[in-house]
Amino acid sequence: MVNIKKWEDNDHWVEIDLDLCIGVAECVDVCPAEVYELVDGKVVASKIAQCTDCMACQDVCPTNAILDHSAW
């Protein structure tokens, strides 16, 4: 079973596969909008409304656990 968590804000959403997330937090460090934080060893998109859709998080994730989606 896949453990995917989804955060939404209007027409933008981010999904993180918590089974793939190993908590190295590269996405936390690279995000210019500070969307992510590390909670209990997993990354969460706690400030999804601030996301600029730059996709830097998705680019640096070593396990491809982040899927950034936009309706634009």
36: which residues sit within 8 A by CB, 6+ positions away?
25, 27, 28, 43, 44, 45, 46, 47, 57
CATH fold label, 4-70:
Alpha-Beta Plaits (3.30.70)
Strand duo 37-39 + 42-44: pairing: antiparallel
pLDDT, averaged in runs of 10, over the chain (72 residues): 88 91 96 96 94 92 87 54
Q: What is the dihedral of CA 16, 7, 70, 43, to 10 degrees?
A: -40
Q: What is the pTM of this model?
A: 0.87
Supply the pLDDT for residue 1: 64
Nearest in space to 36 (alpha carbons), one of 22, 20, 17, 51? 51
